[in-house]
């Protein structure tokens, strides 16, 4: 069945990129529909540490971070596979908040402003013909002048469109799994820790309600070696790092089932595909150790919103909008992605992480430099 309305903008995927884009465009008076395959509120795999570069932007969208009393994070700990520790103050810092809370706050703002939000609605395809898009779901087909693809790191649409990173051979940068818990812990409230273990790293940071997020990423092969058993992998591999052993033995899990995802890819992606502007992880994913993916998703939505408005006001053509978007996206984010991939290669190996910490410890300026290379400025 086809709907009669043609929306100005259709947004596929309601994570941080899609929700923030919908709010910005609706505020400017455009008709916006957003499709999300899940039902809010829901948990996501994420380290849940957001760089302070997003603070003003989130407040401006209507997320009252001050009254939420989010924990402010000013210190970083990094440990090697064998447990050698480096402590450092963060140049800009960040805050901790669960995705359950943040995404749900944004969806409530979007709904109040009048964005049409379709939950439990998976988009199967997007087609472009006669200067208009059709968005195909199982029940209905919707029409729009513009589409944003904000459906995250890997989706059914990527497979349907045979995007190049989907067919890339499995390598060290595209075959990871992620696991997340919420726990009660005695960990410091102002610190984020990144503990290395063989072929992976694990973060811990305070979020809301006296909970802490524990989130780790490792190779799919590490899980295979542990007979596909997460608990076995944590006991045999992660706990070889004494800091992780302490965290896993002393924390009380409050989010009972660890959430897991697989086939995480950090390969290069295109920012425009079939005339759809890709935003957030769908445009390119930074390695999680940088703690910058959420800010990139939010900042990317700001770039897309401005150019989409210019197109809808007829001040630029579709072709100009697409070219300017790719160019601006690369100018702002490409360097961070490259640095993130380079740093990720250092992590998860015993001798390399020990060497890194030995060299970096006496040079705090070098650590600040590395952190700044993977982050941006307030936007």
Ligand X SMILES: Cc1cc2nc3c(=O)[nH]c(=O)nc-3n(C[C@H](O)[C@H](O)[C@H](O)COP(=O)(O)OP(=O)(O)OC[C@H]3O[C@@H](n4cnc5c(N)ncnc54)[C@H](O)[C@@H]3O)c2cc1C
Question: Which residues of the chain form contacts with ligand X (CB under 6 A)?
Answer: 12-18, 35-38, 44-50, 122-123, 150-152, 155-157, 178, 215, 217, 264, 280-282, 288, 291-295, 297
Looking at the Cβ atoms of 123 and 371, the one nearer to ligand X is 123
Nearer to ligand X, 8 or 53 (CB): 53
Q: Please state the closest distance from residue 265 (CB atom) to ligand X, in A.
A: 10
Q: How far is CA 194 from CA 130, 232, 346, in A?
A: 50, 21, 13
Nearer Cβ to ligand X (5/156): 156
Cβ 362 to ligand X shortest distance, Å? 27
Min dist CB 30 to ligand X, Å, is 19
Nearer to ligand X, 99 or 355 (CB): 99
Coil vs helix vs strand at 301: helix
**Secondary structure (DSSP) of 126-156:** EEEETTEEEEEESS-EEEEEEEEE---SS-H
Beta-strand pair 116-118/32-35: parallel
Question: Nearest distance from residue 207's CB to ligand X, in Å?
Answer: 10
Tokens of 83: 């447990």
Nearer to ligand X, 136 or 198 (CB): 136
Instruction: Tell me if the bond preceding 215 is cis, omega within 30° of 0.
Output: no
Pull the structure tokens for residue 145.
């002048």
Least gap, CB of 318 to ligand X (angstroms): 23
Two structure tokens written together for 179: 């696991």
CB of 205 to ligand X, least distance (A): 7
Under DSSP, the state recorded for 2 is E
Check: CB of residue 110 under 8 Å from CB of residue 34.
yes
Identity of the residue, 39 or 314, whose beta carbon is nearer to ligand X in the bound complex: 39
Residue at token pair 């002393």: 250
């Amino acid at each position: 069945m086809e709907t009669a309305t043609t929306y100005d903008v259709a947004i596929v995927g309601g994570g941080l990129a899609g929700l923030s884009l919908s709010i910005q465009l609706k505020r400017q008076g455009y008709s916006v529909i957003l499709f999300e395959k899940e039902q809010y509120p829901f948990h996501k795999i994420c380290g849940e540490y957001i760089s302070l570069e997003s603070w003003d932007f989130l407040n401006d969208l209507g997320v009252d971070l001050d009254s939420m009393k989010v924990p402010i994070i000013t210190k970083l700990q990094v440990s090697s596979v064998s447990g050698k520790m480096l402590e450092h103050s963060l140049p800009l810092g960040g805050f901790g908040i669960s995705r359950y809370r943040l995404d749900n706050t944004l969806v409530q703002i979007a709904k109040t402003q009048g964005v049409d939000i379709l939950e439990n609605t998976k988009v199967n395809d997007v087609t472009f013909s006669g200067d208009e898009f059709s968005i195909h779901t199982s029940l209905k087909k919707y029409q729009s002048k513009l589409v944003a693809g904000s459906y995250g790191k890997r989706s059914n649409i990527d497979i349907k469109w045979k995007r190049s990173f989907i067919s890339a051979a499995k390598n060290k940068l595209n075959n990871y799994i992620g696991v997340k818990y919420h726990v009660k812990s005695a960990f410091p409230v102002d610190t984020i820790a990144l503990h290395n273990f063989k072929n992976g790293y694990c973060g811990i940071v305070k979020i809301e309600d006296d909970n802490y997020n524990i989130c780790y990423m490792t190779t799919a092969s590490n899980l295979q070696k542990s007979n596909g058993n997460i608990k076995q992998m944590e006991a045999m591999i992660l706990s070889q790092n004494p800091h992780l052993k302490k965290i896993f033995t002393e924390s009380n899990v409050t989010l009972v089932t660890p959430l897991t995802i697989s086939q995480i890819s950090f390969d290069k992606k295109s920012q425009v595909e079939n005339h759809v502007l890709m935003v957030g992880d769908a445009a390119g994913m930074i390695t999680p150790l940088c703690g910058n993916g959420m800010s990139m998703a939010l900042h990317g939505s700001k770039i897309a919103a401005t150019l989409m408005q210019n197109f809808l006001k007829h001040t630029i053509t579709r072709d100009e909008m697409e070219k300017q978007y790719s160019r601006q996206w690369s100018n702002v984010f490409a360097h961070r992605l490259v640095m993130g991939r380079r740093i990720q290669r250092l992590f998860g190996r015993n001798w390399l992480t020990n060497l890194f910490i030995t060299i970096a410890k006496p040079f705090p300026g070098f650590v600040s430099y590395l952190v700044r290379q993977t982050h941006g400025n307030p936007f």
